[in-house]
Amino acid sequence: MSGQVLDRRAFLGAATTAAAAAIAAPGGADAATGRSSGVDVVIVGAGVFGTWTAWKLRQAGAKVLLVDAWGPAHARGTSGGETRLIRTEYRGDPLYTRWAWESLADWKALSARHEMPLFHATGALYLYPHVDELIGRSAALHAQMGIPMERITPAELARRWPQIDTSGIAVGLLQPTMGPLMARRSVQVLRDDFVAAGGTYRQMAVAPPVVKGGRLEAITSIRGETVAADKFVFACGPWLPKLFPEVVGARIVPVHKDVFFFAPEAGDARFAPPNLPAWVDVSSPDLHYGFPDIEARGFKIALDRNGAVIDPDQGDRTVSPEAIAQVRAYLRRRFPDLADRQLVEQRVCQYENTHDGNFLIDRHPEADNLWIAGGGSGHGFKHGPAIGTYITALIDGAPPESRFLLASHREHDGRA
């Protein structure tokens, strides 16, 4: 879908009758005054989903207002971490493989527009304990799509990365052109690019929307200000269940995730690029993954296993001593020279999980002009550009992917 740019006329030529009626006078009319707000689309939420959607809609010619309660990629937003991995290894899933691949071009373009690199092509290395059918399927898909991927034998793993103890690993898959994105910074500069391209950004905390007569006329801030528009996208990450308790509810459950940074020994460059790629240890029951020492922040390690359910506003964001001991035990096994190194930073973030890890992107069942987008489920960051393109097309009348629909998502308890 990347590269599909709709011009403003095409964008405004929306398919639905209700939307077409609203579009006849571009820019929603203010509910109280009847005056035009001059806004075609309001995006609520300046995380990676909302900011890329704002950018793509603006590129398509729409007048877009992007708002966020705390600011783009803020400390508690799921997009607010230091780094996120972009990789196309999706166990042979064609849609996510393609979206990640197409998104990489947009990420590289964003990175090229800015002085400090936003994408580091360190490579991404997968460590598998068994050779299974899905590895073959994924390798075949990558070959078919022309995406570089190398199979690496255990002997070759040990030779190339002696700082990793690869015992128990049957095969490595290396994606040499993938690597970390600077997460927080890339969302913030994308917001700046969006504003420079004529979009509007404002800090505003939006109250749960009130839908009447099959439409949403305006958003209202918690201070009572209203902004009307033709269309609305709520891309509110782990806050979506609070904003839409009936429609989203427990279809998205935020869960606790610990992230650690360790300082390598002075002068030891083995844990920095180009000596170490980003890596994912599929053999670990907790699915540990990590990043080399990027921008001298330290060696980052985290685990993909679901923690306890967390409230994004009130949840405890301290890391437990047990969690630190567990991550050191893992390091002792796989990265023994880091096991006793100083822990220089610890963070608690959240995954906003759906029951099966598929994103939730759909029209509100009671409002023709309101879309909900979230459920990143620990892998959404890389797809930001593709999600923006998808939502731009979706609200212009393109058919949806069934896996993202509300009807495809069930409520769960966070352990799913």
Ligand X SMILES: Cc1cc2nc3c(=O)[nH]c(=O)nc-3n(C[C@H](O)[C@H](O)[C@H](O)COP(=O)(O)OP(=O)(O)OC[C@H]3O[C@@H](n4cnc5c(N)ncnc54)[C@H](O)[C@@H]3O)c2cc1C
Binding map of ligand X across residues 317-356, x = CB under 6 A, - = no contact: --------------------------------xxx-----
Question: Is residue 169 a contact point for ligand X (CB under 6 A)?
Answer: no
Binding mask 18-57 for ligand X (x = CB under 6 A): --------------------------xxxxxxx-------
> Does 379 interact with ligand X (rule: CB under 6 A)?
yes
Nearer to ligand X, 14 or 376 (CB): 376
Following CA atoms 349, 355, 359, 362 in sequence, which dihedral angle do they give, to the nearest 10 degrees?
Answer: -120
The single-letter code of the amino acid at 396 is D
Among 41, 42, 118, 206, binds ligand X (CB under 6 A): 206
| Minimum distance of ligand X from residue 276's CB (angstroms) | 16
Q: Which is nearer to ligand X, 135 or 259 (CB)?
A: 259
Site string for ligand X, 297-316 (x = CB under 6 A): -----x--------------
Residues 118, 373, 353, 351, Cα dihedral to 10°: 30
- CB of residue 159 vs ligand X: minimum separation in angstroms? 27
Which of 200-235 are b and which e, b meaning 16 or more Cβ less than 10 Å from the residue's Cβ? Answer: bbeebebeebebeeebbbbbbbeeeeebbbbbbbbb
Interface residue with ligand X, options 25, 109, 140, 205 (CB under 6 A): 205
**Token digits for 209?**
């929307």
Q: Does residue 259 interact with ligand X by CB under 6 A?
A: yes
Question: Chain-centre distance of CA 82, in angstroms?
Answer: 13
124 binds ligand X per the rule CB under 6 A: no
Q: Which DSSP category does 197 fall into?
A: T
Helix (H, G, I), strand (E, B) or coil at 393: helix
The interface region with ligand X, picked from 20-28, 73-81, 112-120, 189-197 by CB under 6 A, is 73-81
Report the residue from 2, 37, 59, 79 that binds ligand X according to the rule CB under 6 A.
Answer: 79
Q: How far apart are alpha carbons 331 and 341 in whole angstroms? A: 10
H runs (alpha helix) in 146-251: 154-160, 183-196, 240-243
Query: Of 122-130, 142-150, 246-254, 376-384, which segment contacts ligand X by CB under 6 A?
Result: 376-384
Q: Which stretches of the chain bind ligand X, using CB under 6 A?
A: 44-50, 67-70, 74, 77-79, 81, 84-85, 205-206, 235-239, 243, 257, 259, 302, 349-351, 374, 376, 378-382
